[in-house]
Amino acid sequence: MEFTPPSKRCLPTKSKEEEEDDERVYQTYRNLISTLPTENGWSSSNLVLYQGSRYVPNNFLQGVMAVQQHFKARPTDILLTAIPKSGTTWMKALIFSIVNRTHYDFTTHPLLTHNPQDCVPTLETNLYRKTSITNPDLLPSPRLFSTHISCSSLPKSIIDSSCQIVYICRNPKDVLVSNRYFGNKIRAKFNKDQPLLSLAEAFQLFCKGASPFGPYWEHVLGFWKASLEQPERILFLKYEDLRSNPLVYLRKLAQHLGYPFSLEEEKQGVLEKILNLCSFQNLSNLEVNKNPDKVSHVGVEYSAFFRKGQVGDWKNHLTADMIEHIDRITEQKFHGCDFSF
Ligand code: PAP
């Protein structure tokens, strides 16, 4: 089966009037954004506080507002949710491979030539961003999407639908380190006048909740609580668990999505093939993900989504004081939750 990235498959042909209507709608978002409180940013622009979370203004926050107002979920949709740098790229690859495993051969698989971000579009940045406004209604079911929007800000249409949701979370210390690396990639590319964000600055911003889509802890807690209320609908996963026990969690994920592996598939080694295809080692070494000319929807090269892919790299970056401080916040915020890092 020929693969075309979903964001290209849902490009509508619009009349001039329709485009002007879109522009008017997005102008209302920009007007609202210009009134919101701002704080220092991580990448090239400030972060804006909206509904209790921090967003990169204009392009991204416009996208969030458009998703909230216009996205219509279907019961067959699958939605991957996470705060940035928690393992979205990996999960996109896994979910895409699980759902499409009967359509593609492992030797000619779309993931060998397309970054996972192109296989599973992010609602607010791939589909509803002003510069690339698309119509996901044009996509056939089952549609696979991801979003970084917090649980409390998800569009009503998603809340009200019975679509499946997967949340992936990761140790906040690794999220912080990964975020700083990515934010500096964007700064270096789009804001050369600004010095790179130091570790001390990144640490301070992260701890006070001023990270993209942050605060980190509230984002995780929102989905954790929702997963307890609707366990059949929301699967809450940890990056670290997937790393240490990939087969167990791959089965769990497939089962949750309604695509369980058969005994025959287990015997044929389909699970191992999926894990190998989606592994950091494999994906990060593919031409599409290495080539500096291949640029993602957020403007940086795909290789920026593959740094180390390790659990615990924070040990190589954070000072003892930083570790103690973040651990204390995490303990306080996640007190009473039966998960830990
Ligand atoms: P996003 O939220 O901007 O989409 P996301 O994919 O969540 O980014 O985060 C990138 C992190 O996932 C990187 O972590 P690091 O900085 O600590 O290295 C990246 O290396 C890691 N990552 C990407 N692909 C994989 C993979 N296939 N397996 C494990 N980790 C991965």
Whether residue 48 contacts residue 57, with contact meaning beta carbons closer than 8 Å, is answered with: yes
CA of 213 to the centre of ligand 1 (A): 16
- For residue 293, report the distance from its CA to the centre of ligand 1, in Å: 19
According to the model, what pLDDT value does residue 6 have?
92
Nearest residue (by CA) to ligand 1, atom 8, is 85
Ligand 1: does its nearest atom lie under 6 Å from the Cβ of 289?
no
243 touches ligand 1 (CB under 6 Å): no
pTM value? 0.97
CA of 89 to the centre of ligand 1 (A): 6
End-to-end CA distance of the chain: 41
User: What's the CA-to-centroid distance between 18 and ligand 1, angstroms?
Assistant: 37
> Is any ligand 1 atom within 6 A of the Cβ of residue 322?
no
Q: Does domain 36-333 have CATH number 3.40.50.300?
A: yes
Which of ligand 1's atoms lies nearest the C-alpha of 146?
A: 4
> Could you identify the atom of ligand 1 that is nearest to the CA of residue 308?
18
Q: What is the pLDDT of residue 87?
A: 98
> Sign (positive/negative) of CA torsion 144, 145, 146, 152?
negative
Rounded alpha-carbon distances, angstroms, from residue 294 to 93, 153, 198, 258, 305: 18, 32, 27, 33, 12
Does the CB atom of residue 240 touch ligand 1 within 6 A? no
Q: Rounded to the nearest 5 degrees, what angle is found at the Cα of 93, between the Cα atoms of 118 and 41?
A: 65
Q: Identify the residue whose C-alpha is closest to ligand 1 atom 21.
A: 309
Residue 274 has pLDDT above 80, yes or no: yes
CA distance 265 to 44: 46
Residue 191: partners with Cβ closer than 8 Å, 6 or more residues away? 43, 44, 45
pLDDT at 66 over 80: yes
How many angstroms separate the alpha carbon of residue 239 from the centre of ligand 1? 10
148 catalytic per annotation: yes
Flag the least confident range among 21-25, 150-154, 301-305, 310-314.
21-25
Local structure of 341: helix, strand or coil = coil
Mutate to test the pocket of ligand 1, among 42, 83, 89 (most ligand atoms within 8 A of CB): 89
* Contact between residue 150 and residue 67 where contact means Cβ atoms under 8 Å apart: no
Residue 295 has what pLDDT?
Answer: 86
Question: Could you say which of 109, 114, 148, 297 is catalytic?
Answer: 148
Sheet holding 38-39, edge to edge: 38-39, 47-50, 53-55
pLDDT for the residue 40: 84
Q: Find the angle CA(245)-CA(334)-CA(307) to the nearest 5 degrees.
A: 50
Using 50, 70 and 90 to split pLDDT, how confident is the model at 308? Answer: very high
What pLDDT is stored for residue 132 in this prediction? Answer: 61
- Report whether the peptide linkage leading into residue 12 is cis, meaning its omega lies within 30 degrees of zero: no
| Pairing state between β 234-238 and 164-169 | parallel
133: pLDDT strictly greater than 80 = no
Res. 169: pLDDT tops 80: yes
Which residue type occupies 1? Answer: M
The span from the CA of 95 to the CA of 119, in Å, is 10
Residue 38: beta bridge partners? 48
Query: Is residue 174 within 6 Å of ligand 1 at its C-beta?
Result: yes
